[in-house]
Amino acid sequence: MTMASPQTGIFALGTSSHAYLEFDVEAASDGASVVSRVAALREPRTTIGGVNLVAGFRPELWAAVAPDAAPPGISGFNEPLVGPTGYALPATQHDVVIWLTGASYDVVFDLSRGVVSELAGAASLAGELVGWPYHHDRDLTGFIDGTENPTIVEATAVAVVPAGSPGEGGSILLLQQWEHDAAAWEGLAAASQEWVMGRRKVDSAELDPKPPTSHVARTDQDAFGKIFRRNIGYGSVGRHGTIFVGFSADQAILVAMLRSMIGIGGGPPDHLTEFTRPLTGAYYFVPSAERLAALGAVRRV
């Protein structure tokens, strides 16, 4: 048997337009039908040249439809995560996520509309975000984002459930919309922003020592384990921020980072959380390409 391969869009870097579409199963439909419809989306008839499509599911929904292909113990973002200071990470779990990336928003827009109409009657659009890269690799805070990401070679080992484990070839995605308090952030001197982030703004060099309250100290991958991030900016002049897009083979790593950021477990809260707030939060299981395709084929006779 060949090893199940991850959905390739997870690792397709360099695209300049992103859409995240979240859906809920309609009352008249069910999880199995929706998975089958989503699997069929990957057929050539709905694929526009150059657009990557990554599909994920609420972990409980996937486990009910494909119990033999679900990592044990993973769950949706079903309750808000609240820190000792009262800072809350909201839970806005939906049933399906479709992440589309392409060279420009016109093709992403067309495919987004195509996906919504293909799923009509089975799942309805519950949330939509459009992301765009800011000055090559910067977050809208002005800092370079992704410096400590694993290389694209290492990323597979970090993000993909290994062969032989349930859910092999799959990945767990944490998706959150963080809205920046631009006025508060831009009111800080550059040196203070660097203290908050734990890195230099110009070149992303790590501060030595890194402040214990800094973002890079509170998410230190040497302490928690590694994840693969595909964050992207979103929004307009009035309201904007970061779409946090983090993949891991192990949901516990993502959960531990979030807990650390809001001060659960004894450490100080992440200073960055004073300047940006999450408005949404959901976990999705992104099954292997083969497993997802098989469910489409079986149902679509």
Cβ-proximal residues to 154 (8 Å cutoff; 6+ apart), any chain: 226
**Residue 132 C-beta-side C-alpha neighbours within 13 Å:** 10
Residue among 104 and 147 whose Cβ is closer to ligand HEM: 147
Q: Does 257 bind ligand HEM (CB under 6 A)?
A: yes
Residue among 78 and 147 whose Cβ is closer to ligand HEM: 147
Residue among 23 and 228 whose Cβ is closer to ligand HEM: 228
CB 216 within 8 A of CB 199: yes
**What's the closest the beta carbon of residue 226 comes to ligand HEM, in angstroms?**
8
Among 17, 101, 141, 171, binds ligand HEM (CB under 6 A): 141
Contact flags string 176-215 toward ligand HEM, x per CB under 6 A: x-x------------------x-x----x----------x
Residue among 141 and 288 whose Cβ is closer to ligand HEM: 141
Among 118, 139, 168, 194, binds ligand HEM (CB under 6 A): 139
Catalytic one among 95, 139, 145, 250?
145
**What's the closest the beta carbon of residue 97 comes to ligand HEM, in angstroms?**
16
CA 69 to chain centre: 20
Among 52, 219, 251, 288, binds ligand HEM (CB under 6 A): 219
DSSP characters for 136-148?
Answer: TTB-TTSSB--TT
Q: Does 145 bind ligand HEM (CB under 6 A)?
A: yes
CB 112 within 8 A of CB 21: yes
Cis peptide before 209 (omega within 30 of 0): yes
Q: Which single residue is written with the structure tokens 């922003």?
A: 193
**What's the closest the beta carbon of residue 77 comes to ligand HEM, in angstroms?**
11
Q: Does 216 bind ligand HEM (CB under 6 A)?
A: yes
CB 146 within 8 A of CB 242: no
**Contacts to ligand HEM from residues 61-90, by CB under 6 A:** none
**What's the closest the beta carbon of residue 285 comes to ligand HEM, in angstroms?**
17
| C-alpha distances out from residue 197 to 41, 107, 229, 247, 289, Å | 40, 35, 16, 21, 36
Q: Does 15 bind ligand HEM (CB under 6 A)?
A: no
Cβ-proximal residues to 86 (8 Å cutoff; 6+ apart), any chain: none
Residue among 216 and 292 whose Cβ is closer to ligand HEM: 216
Cα end-to-end span (Å), the chain: 25
Q: What is the phi-psi region of residue 261: left when phi exceeds 0, alpha when psi lies from -120 to 50, beta otherwise?
A: alpha
Residue among 45 and 136 whose Cβ is closer to ligand HEM: 136
Q: How far apart are alpha carbons 224 and 190 in whole angstroms?
A: 28
Q: Does 276 bind ligand HEM (CB under 6 A)?
A: yes
Q: Does 288 bind ligand HEM (CB under 6 A)?
A: no
Which residue type, as a one-letter code, is found at position 25?
V
Six token digits for residue 177:
């919309």
Q: Does 247 bind ligand HEM (CB under 6 A)?
A: no
Query: Is residue 246 helix, strand or coil?
Result: strand
**Catalytic annotation on 270?**
no
Q: Which residues are catalytic?
A: 145
**Binding interface with ligand HEM (CB under 6 A):** 139, 141, 143-148, 174, 176, 178, 197, 199, 204, 215-216, 219-221, 227, 242, 244, 246, 254, 257-258, 276
